[in-house]
Structures are given as structure tokens and as C-alpha cells.
Amino acid sequence: MTMKSLLSTASLALLIATASAGAQAQIAIGHLADYSGGTSDVGTPYGQAVADTFAWVNKNGGVAGKQLNVDTNDYGYQVPRAIALYKKWSGGDKVAAIMGWGTADTEALTGFLAQDKIPDMSGSYAAALTDPEGTSGKAKPAPYNFFYGPSYSDAVRAELMWAAEDWKAKGKSGAPKFVHMGANHPYPNAPKAAGEALAKELGFEVLPPLVFALAPGDYSAQCLSLKSSGANYAYLGNTAASNISVMKACKAAGVDVQFMSNVWGMDENAAKAAGDAADGVIFPLRTAVAWGGSAPGMKTVEEISKISDPSGNVYRPVHYVAAVCSALYMKEALDWAAKNGGATGENVAKGFYQKKDWVPAGMDGVCNPSTWSDKDHRGTMKVDLYRAKVSGSTDGDLKDLIAKGTIKLEKVKTVDLPRKPEWFGW
């Protein structure tokens, strides 16, 4: 019995080994997606876009004539599962690159990535991932971590600068009160120190942070303490679904506060779900335009979208468009690597350093120009702040609601942050 089962296991293992050997002519890529975990509300469109983009790349000739073999896995936003998948990707046939996701798992992987020389384009924009050499003294070196867009810390800095102006413009006196809200989790915590430090500098009174879970729930208690503390500006650090719960509860409790959200904290779906509770929320947009915006690059995004929606009728939220940009940067870094010594992780990372003010081919007017260097992985310092405008009932199809203008994303301000060394790495 034992012998037989062992033999069959061994032969199965051999089979798997030969099967993967047959796939040598491809470039392997690992893809961590969250379709079922705490951030699945925004992880689903992002993950879908990454999968669609690589499928589209494959349809159009792949990278240097080789097809991309993308291993997409739903890891449920759990660090242990991400690490198990990483072990699979880093052992044996090593992947050339990883499209990562959450802050906790990306930070857990940072050391391994550096050791195994595998670049990771994460969905986490934690500022700790921007320091490739650890020179800032604020973070551990993260030489193989990349992301597209402003870091969480830089986004909250820009929001606070806007808030300080907003306070003056409204002619209010005294010090405005700022509060950080989010789960006790690496992702909402990532920009906490940076936001609170700048808020103090700008003359805000910083209130003790309020904790609410990453999942939707009843957050009336948080809204009541928000009300009693008299906060004027509240930063929402979680993802859209749980932020909506807070906004709705606060609307019901009659809290008069200006919400500013993290880049993952607001999108068109969230605005539809929250209804008028989402009206007025400030959030950063990573792309120059949202879905359906007028830009030459939007054609490419629409083509990519047709991979999973041949009808072309689905409205794609901001995270989809941003993920297309992220995946295409990775594709072009792979292109460079394939032409300059082969698509190994080390070369792919070098591929990110080759261009200044880089926009992937065919994405003009969509992806914001980004520059990565071997000393500084802050791709961009420009933060476009938008306001969600919701007027009227949000029942019905999202596409119609946007077309009718019931839900609008309105540009408020573009903040060009200086590339200050004291803002590096945190």
C-alpha cells in the first residue's frame, strides 16, 4: 500500500516536472490577486485588469516573441498564502517577475525578493517600499519593489496640503482637526506617521487615530467619537467597502467632516454603493483620466478590457485602469530585459530604470509619466486629487449613472510634491 502510493506520488511529481520543463519557451510571471479576502472589493478589478493585460500582450505577440505564462492566484489577502505561493514561484523554475498586491504580504516578501532577485510590482504603495538601498534610514532596503502611482504617504501629504488651503478658503478660524482612520493593519497604518507629522507641521490639531475593521460593518461608534471630537478632516485608510460603511454611518449620525481617502478607498462602484454619503470625498486618482475619458491611450485600455468583456459594455473602475498601467510598465521592463541579456529578475528590475518620464506605448494620456531610479523608487510625486460628486439616486447601471452625470469624478487640484529627502521611505 505504502510503496504503491509512494510510487504513484513520485511518478506524478515526475509528470509535473516534465510538464513544466516543456513550458521553457515562456516567461513565467506570478500574480497575487485578492478576489475573496479583506480587500477583494478593489482587488477584483485590479486583478482582473492584470490578467486581461497580460492576456492581451500574449495575443499581440508576447514579450520578444515569447508568451507570458501568468500564474494568477487568489490568496485571500493572507500573508501565509502569499508566502506559500512565493515559495512555489521562487523555487525550481523561477518567475521573471511578480505582480503583487497587499501591504502586509509585500512587506513580508521584500527580503526574499531582494535575496532571489525577483522584481515585484505591488498593489501596495507603502512608502517603505520606495527605498531601494535603505539610505533613508526609515525603511529596510527594498531593491526589487516597484509600484505605479504616488505612495500612500505622498498621497496623504497632498491631501493635507489641499485641506490646509481648503480651511483657509472657507474662511474658518482656529486650527483644523485631523484624524487618521483605518484598521490596525500594515496597509492603513503605512501612511499614518507621515500624515500626522505633516498635519502638525501645517498647523492641524492631530486627534488620536480611530480604528475600524477592513471589512464592512457597523461603525456608528466611530462616527460618534468623530462627532464628539469635532474632527474637520478625516483620512480613511481602508479600502472602499469598509470606508463606505463609515461614510454611511457618519451621514446617518450627522457628522460634519471632510473625508479624504486612500487611493484604494474610493472608486465609481463605491460611490454608487454609498450614494449621497460619498458626495464630496477627496481621493487621489492614479491615471490622468478615468474610464471613458478622452485620451489616445483609452483605446488600448478598451481593447484590453474586451479580453474579459467582449461586449465592451462593462464600466471599469479606476483601479482597473491603474492596473493596466502597472502591468504594461512590467511588460515594457520585461521587453527591455529580453533584449538585454534575457528576462531574468535582475534584468527586469534594470528595465525599470531605463526611461525618464516613462509612459508605456499606446497609453498616452492615461498613465502618468513615471521615473524609477536605482536610488529612488518613488515613480511619481504628482498627486491628482479628485472629488466624488453624487447627485441623486444611484440605483441602476453604473455605466448609465456615469453617463447621466449622477456620479462624477471632479478634479480638485494637482499637487506636485517636492522630492524631499526627509519624505523618503516613510
Partner 1 sequence: MANASLIPAGDFRTSYAADTTIFPTKTSRNTAILGVILIAFAPLVLTGYWLSVLIQIGIFGIAALGLNILVGFTGQISIGHAAFFLLGAYTSAYLNNNLPIPVFFTIPIAGVITALVGLVFGVPAARLKGLYLVIATLAAQYILIDFFSRAEWFSGGSVPASANPFSLFGYTLRGDKSYFYVVLAYLLVSYLLVTNLMRTRDGRALVAVRDHYLSAEIMGINLTKYRTLSFGLAAFFAGIAGALYAHYQLVVSNEGFGIERSILFLAMIIIGGIGSISGTLMGTAFVVLLPEAMEWISMELKGGTIDRALQLNNNLTFLREIAIGLIIIAFLVFEPDGLAHRWRQIKAYWKLYPFSH
List residues binding partner 1 (CB under 8 A): 2-3, 6, 9-10, 13, 16-17, 35-36, 44, 48, 74, 76-81, 83-84, 87-88, 91-92, 104, 107-108, 111-112, 184-186, 189, 308
For partner 1, give the closer residue by CB, 250 or 327: 327
CB of residue 307 vs partner 1: minimum separation in angstroms? 12
Residue 160 φ then ψ, to 5°: -70, -35
**CA–CA separation, 106 and 70 (whole Å):** 18
For partner 1, give the closer residue by CB, 44 or 153: 44
For partner 1, give the closer residue by CB, 188 or 297: 188
- Ramachandran quadrant class, 173 (left: phi over 0; alpha: psi -120 to 50; beta: rest): beta
CB of residue 346 vs partner 1: minimum separation in angstroms? 20
CB of residue 152 vs partner 1: minimum separation in angstroms? 14
Those residues whose C-beta lies under 8 Å from the C-beta of residue 53, and which sit 6 or more positions away, are: 304, 323, 324, 327, 328, 331
CB-count exposure of residue 45 (10 Å: 0-12, 13-18, 19+):
buried
CB of residue 188 vs partner 1: minimum separation in angstroms? 9
DSSP string, 101-118: --HHHHHHHHHHHHHHT-
For partner 1, give the closer residue by CB, 20 or 340: 20
CB of residue 224 vs partner 1: minimum separation in angstroms? 22
Residue 388 φ then ψ, to 5°: -80, 125
For partner 1, give the closer residue by CB, 25 or 84: 84
CB of residue 137 vs partner 1: minimum separation in angstroms? 17
Largest CA distance in the chain: 83
**CA–CA separation, 195 and 190 (whole Å):** 10
- Ramachandran quadrant class, 153 (left: phi over 0; alpha: psi -120 to 50; beta: rest): alpha
For partner 1, give the closer residue by CB, 13 or 361: 13
